[in-house]
Amino acid sequence: MSRRATLAIAVPAILVPAALFGLLEPARIPTPAAVRTGSVAHPSPAYSRLLARHVRDGTIEGISVRVVDYASIPDDPDYQLALTELADARPETMDREARLAYWINAYNLLAIRLVAERYPVASILEVGSEHENVWSMEAGTAAGRAVSLSWIEDMLRRGFGEPRTHFALVAASVSCPDLRPYDAAGLDAQLDEAARAFLANERRGARVTGDRVEVSNLLHAFHEDFEAVGGVVAFLRAYAPPSVAERLEGVRLHDLGKLPYDWSLNDLARTSVARQN
């Protein structure tokens, strides 16, 4: 299951029943020998340009978030080029850091595709049908095969064992981490930055409320992924702001509260930024 049954706390009006969740088995798609070289760099130039052009800082319902101009993305020539470069790439020829960056970028680009090609929608959870939810439906082509968001996420969790990945995957929602391209050369620093920036956002990542610490449900839903680094609390001590980290003495996972998770779209059209342009 991906996004752990929508983190079990989706807004009731757009809650997807957990029974519908599953993985889409990837089907190999034949590709010409000319594109089997893995020569396309990642993040691909087109993907980087696409994000630079259509992603910016904004505020939605008082929450600071990188917002996406979904309405204009399908008309950008770099959009189809980025999808082609994603499909043609061969991550099996890349080293570990490049593969990890590639699949993070793949998840994020295909999440954008699922929304942008059905826009306007209020939430990514509206994509799909009663028979196939957004996580398990075919999202597009990556590395020459049809994939779902669930398949990519499951492969990342099993294949890389990198808990910071959770602060890089963006499922087109307000409470998700911020969207950016990732590359092999600076990946470790980029993942560190993504984790720290997310946890520093009091509405999305972590905050002290009264006598307890509340954190994103990402950390609760995927808590076992943090065991390799000492567990969720140890991770928070290392990456959360000092105001949070200093309140963790003697705290265990079950003592941590859960911040509300907003699955509404991280859409530029909902922000004051859009009204100014």
Residues 6+ apart with CB under 8 A from 85: 40, 42, 44, 45, 46, 47
Pairing between β-strand 212-215 and β-strand 257-258 as defined by DSSP bridges: parallel
Euclidean distance between CA atoms 156 and 158, whole angstroms:
6
pLDDT exceeds 80 at position 169: yes
Average pLDDT of 140-152? 98
pLDDT tens, residue by residue, 4-49: 656 764 443 333 333 322 333 333 333 333 333 344 555 789 999 9
Q: What does pTM read for this prediction?
A: 0.88
Euclidean distance between CA atoms 266 and 176, whole angstroms:
9
pLDDT tens, residue by residue, 71-129: 999 999 999 999 999 999 999 999 999 999 999 999 999 999 999 999 999 999 999 88
Average pLDDT of 58-68? 96
Give per-residue burial for 211-232: e unless 16+ CB within 10 Å, then b: eebbbbbbbbbbbebbeeeebb
